[in-house]
């Protein structure tokens, strides 16, 4: 079977799995809703913009007030569903599930790229300090809101993540070349440094300590459609860009010199992969905090199942990551007391990873 | 033709994969890693359709030069151009359409199917968003077929043997359809069977119309398959030309610091290099005229300046080869010897002055005189499986005053065609000679020289009867 047929069939299967997982997850919780109702509620929640009017709100552009377009949305479907159930599913559970799927998608895709890029089985999306940078930005915004110019937790975390990635890349680059080993070491050092900064801020965070710690553990509670609107577009565009570089990723597995001889512009490709993977990771981490193991374990499992070809591995890992995080977040919120999802992913992911290690299934990228 | 105007796959008229071989020009390339200078002003020109081998000792800069040609390393000064395109001046996409590389070690610990690995060779010909075209598929299948890896196409690359893997990497380079191809030690990790198979394939690719440069450490294989050799030593081109002119005792001695003899291989009809262990015998100064008495008095060995070898077959051939290859810088002469004898052939190929005579003919007076002159001019005469015949038994008389070494690998009876008297004459010679094996010839010659000088300086009665 050609790789494109394999990609299509695997992606279709994993998309179906994701849909099933989403429906199951939306059915679970303190109020049990039967899956049919869930499915109909979800369909009811699908809206399309029906008309655009020149809205009353204006934004200043070069000093001139320009009216923003305002969209009217219409539901496509109008199935008969009890109103309480419709609200529980579409307004309470669905945003959280959608965010879990988005963040899982982003982290698994970025993890796949980083592992291939670094040719290192220990690589995860945060290897060059993106998550630590996001945490530093977020903790700063939580503990010292007056010091952070954006005021927004998301933007502060996002900016911290990208700033860190950029710093690490700049430090590791010399004379137009960025050796992967230097990049790894610079990432480790930067994480240690930022770890100290975060600890310092936590010590002086006073009443906001709990909020900061929960953020850092990774959380999806109180998710809104606004969070999804922040993370989803960045993730989709980023993963699409990464998807166009999957052949280069394959060639890079042969080593940088071979990749050069096979026509890959090595340094430019490395920069682009690193930048886009970092942006995708940052988008996920900024809204959901530091959620570990998704970006490490999911690509490994998918690689075991379908092999090292990034043309198939990237889309399937991303889809599997989405399902994985939806499932773990369902466990996190469906228990008697809600726990941060990062705890669950580590609790599920780490033993499974150790099991694979013991079986010697995972020993290379 | 302007190389930038050439569209890939358009010159398909001449069959095959439509690749026209390109010239490779390296001009005054110097390259250093930090303080360490690896290449110094290297200039090499490879003509289109040539198979050139880079040979030389470890650390001579073979791999570095290949990497400079491929564009992987940018030289500090100088230029590399392939098909007139400065390889360091173009994108890697463009350069990888001009030159493909078969590296010494490819990291292939991933379970890609063989076909996918070969398909990676099409990477430079494809745009980012296109799916593979029919042309790509055909190139891949052709490359698989060409390298006899079609049967392996579905196997994971990490589940094939080393020899097969080498062919797969070669297939990848073939699928790349470049006018020039570089191979770094393509036979290094292969057994002899696969070494030949690989080089036969490379030779075929060259003959079909490709320019190939390979770093090859096996000199025999390099001589056998390459049109031309470039001998690198200490980062410079030491010698360059056809194998027979590059592989000589002198050049190998200088470049490899080794005692080597180059002889024609009767089977492959190419040069065979035989390396001999360092005999430790060395003149104190490089010129052979300065083996001065002071050297001898200071306790160093008295080395013979000239050695004449008489004899036949592999014993004589081995003796002259070893004496010539030694760093003792001895003038070696040979003869009379039948032309066509392996000793005569060896003498010819390593440039030893030999008196050749027609087989089975009587030794002419002129040739006998020439042989006698050489015996008298020599410090030591070596009889190596000397065949005593009616024609040459008189030569034994000329040996009376000479220091003698006898090498025997066959009993006298098998070599005597001149009756009992001649045999006794030979045995008498043998009794006063230093006997030796072929391997120990140098020591024996030195010993004979020493005996001779000892017996000459104090005028004592000769113990010889």
> What is the residue-wise DSSP string for A328-357?
HHHHHHHSSS---HHHHHHHHHHHHHHHHH
Task: Find out whether A108 and A18 touch, Cβ atoms under 8 Å.
Answer: no
- Spatial CA neighbour of B307 closest among B388, B384, B394, B392: B384
φ, ψ (nearest 5 deg) of residue A238: -60, -45
In angstroms, the separation between the Cα of residue A3 and the nearest Cα of chain B is: 9
Question: Which residues of chain A form beta strands (DSSP E)?
Answer: 47-61, 64-75
Question: Which residues of A185-337 form beta strands (DSSP E)?
Answer: none
What 3-state class would DSSP assign to B132? coil
Topology at the third CATH level for domain B24-275: Rossmann fold (3.40.50)
- Length of chain A equals 365
Mutation for testing the A interface, residue in B63, B92, B101 having most A CBs under 10 Å? B92
Task: Decide: residue B432, CB within 10 A, 0-12 exposed, 13-18 middle, 19+ buried.
Answer: middle
Assess if residue A73 is contained within a domain. Answer: no
The verdict on a CB contact (< 8 Å) between B123 and A255 is no
Regions of chain B short of the pLDDT cut 50: 1-15, 284-299, 459-460, 462-465
- A83 and chain B: CB distance < 8 Å anywhere? no
Assess if residue A50 is contained within a domain. Answer: no
| CA dist A84 → A31, A95, A172, A335, B447 (Å) | 10, 16, 55, 22, 113
Handedness of CA B316, B318, B321, B323 (dihedral sign): negative
Tokens of B218: 């096996």
Contacts of B100 in chain A (CB under 8 A): 261
pLDDT score of A162: 94
pLDDT score of A363: 56
The verdict on a CB contact (< 8 Å) between A250 and B112 is yes
> What is the distance between the alpha carbons of residues B41 and B43, in angstroms, rounded to a whole number?
6
Mutation for testing the A interface, residue in B123, B137, B141 having most A CBs under 10 Å? B123
Tokens of A280: 């995708």
Assess if residue A271 is contained within a domain. Answer: yes
Tokens of A179: 């050796």
- Spatial CA neighbour of B122 closest among B139, B103, B101, B146: B139
φ, ψ (nearest 5 deg) of residue A148: -95, 120
Domain boundaries, position A9: 3-32+82-363
The verdict on a CB contact (< 8 Å) between A253 and B106 is no
pLDDT score of B284: 45
Residues 81-110 of B with CB under 8 A from A: 91-93, 95-97, 99-101, 103, 106-110
Rg (CA), chain B: 29
pLDDT score of B362: 77
CATH of the domain at A306: 1.10.3470.10
Ordered strands of the B51-55 beta sheet: B99-102, B180-184, B211-215, B51-55, B228-233, B236-241
Q: Which residue of B has its CA nearest to A256?
A: B72
Assess if residue A75 is contained within a domain. Answer: no
- Spatial CA neighbour of B97 closest among B184, B7, B167, B185: B7
φ, ψ (nearest 5 deg) of residue A296: -95, -50
> What is the distance between the alpha carbons of residues B425 and A290, in angstroms, rounded to a whole number?
100
The verdict on a CB contact (< 8 Å) between A265 and B92 is yes
Among the four given CATH numbers 3.30.70, 3.50.50, 3.40.630, 3.40.50, the one describing domain B306-455:
3.40.50
> What is the distance between the alpha carbons of residues A95 and A47, in angstroms, rounded to a whole number?
14
> What is the residue-wise DSSP string for A34-48?
-HHHHHHHHHHH-EE
Q: How many domains does chain A have?
A: 1
pLDDT score of A339: 86
The verdict on a CB contact (< 8 Å) between B131 and A257 is no
**Bridge partner list, B93:** none
What 3-state class would DSSP assign to B346? helix
Q: Quick one: which H or E segment has residue B197?
A: helix B192-209
pLDDT score of B276: 75
Assess if residue A53 is contained within a domain. Answer: no
Tokens of B166: 């080498």
> What is the distance between the alpha carbons of residues B361 and A268, in angstroms, rounded to a whole number?
77
> What is the residue-wise DSSP string for B15-65?
STT------EEEEEEEEEETTEEEEEEEEEEE-TT-EEEEE-STTSSHHHH
In angstroms, the separation between the Cα of residue B149 and the nearest Cα of chain A is: 18
Give, in degrees to the nearest 5, the angle at Cα A298 between A297 and A301. Answer: 85
> What is the distance between the alpha carbons of residues B451 and B460, in angstroms, rounded to a whole number?
13
Task: Find out whether B350 and B331 touch, Cβ atoms under 8 Å.
Answer: no
> What is the DSSP-derived secondary structure letter of residue B218?
-
Contacts of A251 in chain B (CB under 8 A): 120, 123
Q: Which residues lie closer than 8 Å to B61 by C-beta, 6 or more apart?
A: B38, B39, B42, B232, B234, B235
Domain boundaries, chain B: 24-275, 306-455
Task: Find out whether A249 and A116 touch, Cβ atoms under 8 Å.
Answer: yes
In angstroms, the separation between the Cα of residue B339 and the nearest Cα of chain A is: 53
pLDDT score of B142: 92
- Spatial CA neighbour of B48 closest among B25, B69, B70, B22: B22
Assess if residue A77 is contained within a domain. Answer: no
Our measurement of the distance from residue B56's CA atom to the centroid of its chain's CA atoms, rounded to an integer in Å, reads: 10
Task: Find out whether A93 and A22 touch, Cβ atoms under 8 Å.
Answer: no
pLDDT digits (tens), chain A, 365 positions: 577 888 899 999 999 999 999 999 988 888 888 888 888 888 888 877 777 666 555 655 555 666 666 667 777 777 888 888 888 888 888 999 999 999 999 999 999 999 988 887 778 888 899 999 999 999 998 888 877 666 688 889 999 999 999 999 999 998 888 898 899 999 999 999 999 999 999 998 888 888 888 888 888 888 888 889 989 999 999 999 999 999 999 999 888 889 999 999 999 999 999 999 999 999 999 999 888 889 988 998 898 888 889 999 999 999 999 999 999 999 988 877 888 888 888 888 888 878 877 876 655 55
pLDDT score of B3: 43
Nearest-CB residue to A250 (from B99, B106, B120): B120
Q: Which residues lie closer than 8 Å to B164 by C-beta, 6 or more apart?
A: B149, B152
Tokens of B380: 């030591």
Contacts of B108 in chain A (CB under 8 A): 254
- A121 and chain B: CB distance < 8 Å anywhere? no
> What is the distance between the alpha carbons of residues B164 and B404, in angstroms, rounded to a whole number?
55
> What is the distance between the alpha carbons of residues B101 and B92, in angstroms, rounded to a whole number?
13
Nearest-CB residue to B72 (from A253, A260, A364): A260
The verdict on a CB contact (< 8 Å) between A258 and B124 is no
């Amino acid at each position: 079977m050609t790789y494109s047929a394999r990609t299509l069939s695997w992606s279709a299967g994993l998309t179906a799995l994701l849909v099933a997982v989403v429906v199951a997850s939306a059915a679970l919780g303190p109020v049990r809703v039967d899956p049919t109702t869930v499915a109909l509620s979800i369909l009811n929640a699908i809206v399309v913009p029906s008309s655009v009017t020149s809205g009353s709100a204006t934004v200043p552009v070069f000093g001139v007030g320009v009216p923003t377009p305002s969209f009217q949305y219409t539901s496509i479907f109008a199935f008969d569903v009890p109103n309480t159930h419709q609200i529980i599913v579409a307004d309470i559970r669905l945003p959280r599930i959608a965010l879990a799927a988005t963040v899982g998608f982003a982290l698994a895709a970025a993890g796949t790229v980083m592992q291939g890029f670094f040719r290192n089985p220990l690589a995860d999306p945060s290897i060059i300090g993106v998550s630590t940078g996001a945490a530093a930005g977020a903790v700063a915004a939580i503990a010292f809101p007056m010091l952070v110019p954006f005021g927004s937790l998301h933007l502060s975390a996002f900016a911290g993540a990208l700033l860190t990635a950029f710093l690490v890349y700049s430090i590791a680059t010399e004379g137009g070349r960025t050796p992967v080993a230097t990049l790894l070491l610079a990432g480790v050092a930067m994480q240690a440094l930022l770890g100290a900064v975060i600890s310092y801020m936590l010590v002086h965070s006073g009443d906001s300590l709990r909020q900061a710690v929960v953020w850092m553990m990774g959380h999806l509670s109180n998710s809104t459609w606004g969070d999804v609107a922040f993370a989803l577009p960045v993730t989709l565009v980023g993963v699409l860009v990464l998807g166009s570089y999957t052949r280069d990723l394959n060639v890079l597995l042969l080593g940088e010199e071979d990749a050069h001889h096979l026509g890959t512009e090595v340094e430019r490709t490395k920069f682009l992969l690193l930048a886009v993977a970092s942006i995708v990771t940052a988008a996920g981490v900024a809204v959901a905090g530091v959620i570990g193991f998704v970006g490490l374990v999911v690509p490994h499992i998918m690689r075991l199942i379908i092999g090292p070809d990034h043309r198939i591995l990237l889309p399937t890992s991303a889809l599997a990551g989405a399902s994985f995080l939806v499932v773990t977040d369902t466990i996190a919120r469906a228990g008697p007391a809600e726990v941060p999802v990062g705890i669950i992913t580590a609790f599920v992911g780490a033993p499974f990873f150790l099991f694979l290690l013991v079986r010697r299934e995972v020993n290379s990228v | 033709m302007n190389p930038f105007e050439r569209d890939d796959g358009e010159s398909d008229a001449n069959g095959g994969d439509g690749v026209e071989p390109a010239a490779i020009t390296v001009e005054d390339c110097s390259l250093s890693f930090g303080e360490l200078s690896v290449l110094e002003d290297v200039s090499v020109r490879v003509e289109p359709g040539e198979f050139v081998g880079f040979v030389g000792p470890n650390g001579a800069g073979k791999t570095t030069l290949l990497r400079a040609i491929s564009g992987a390393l940018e030289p500090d000064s100088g230029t590399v151009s392939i098909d007139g395109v400065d390889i360091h001046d173009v994108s890697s996409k463009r350069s990888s359409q001009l030159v493909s590389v078969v590296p010494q070690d490819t990291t292939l610990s991933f379970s890609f199917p063989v076909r996918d690995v070969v398909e990676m060779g099409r990477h430079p010909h494809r745009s980012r968003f296109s799916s593979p075209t029919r042309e790509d598929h055909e190139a891949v299948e052709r490359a698989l077929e060409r390298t006899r890896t079609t049967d392996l196409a579905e196997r994971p690359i990490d589940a094939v043997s080393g020899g097969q893997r080498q062919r797969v990497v070669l297939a990848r380079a073939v699928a790349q359809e470049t006018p020039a191809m570089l191979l770094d030690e393509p036979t290094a990790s292969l057994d002899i069977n696969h070494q030949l198979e690989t080089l036969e394939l490379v030779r075929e690719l060259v003959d079909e119309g490709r320019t190939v440069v390979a770093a090859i450490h096996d000199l025999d294989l390099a001589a056998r398959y390459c049109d031309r050799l470039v001998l690198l030593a200490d980062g410079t081109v030491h010698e360059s030309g056809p194998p027979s002119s590059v592989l000589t005792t002198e050049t190998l001695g200088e470049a490899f610091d080794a005692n080597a003899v180059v002889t024609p291989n009767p089977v492959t009809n190419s040069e065979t290099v035989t390396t001999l262990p360092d005999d430790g015998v060395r003149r104190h100064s490089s010129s052979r005229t300065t083996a001065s008495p002071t050297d001898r008095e200071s306790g160093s060995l008295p080395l013979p300046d000239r050695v004449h070898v008489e004899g036949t077959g592999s014993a004589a051939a081995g003796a002259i080869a070893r004496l010539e290859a030694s760093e003792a810088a001895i003038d070696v002469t040979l003869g009379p010897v039948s032309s066509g004898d392996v000793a005569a052939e060896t003498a010819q190929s390593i440039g030893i002055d030999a008196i050749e005579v027609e087989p089975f003919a009587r030794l002419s007076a002129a040739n006998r005189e020439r042989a006698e002159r050489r015996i008298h001019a020599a410090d030591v005469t070596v009889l190596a499986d000397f065949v005593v015949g009616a024609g040459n038994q008189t030569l034994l008389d000329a040996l009376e005053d000479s220091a003698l070494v006898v090498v025997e690998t066959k009993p006298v009876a098998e070599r005597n065609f001149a009756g009992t008297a001649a045999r006794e004459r030979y045995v008498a010679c043998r009794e006063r000679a230093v006997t030796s094996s072929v391997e120990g010839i140098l020591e024996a010659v030195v010993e004979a020289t020493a005996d001779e000088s000892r017996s000459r300086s104090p005028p004592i009665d000769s113990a010889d009867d």
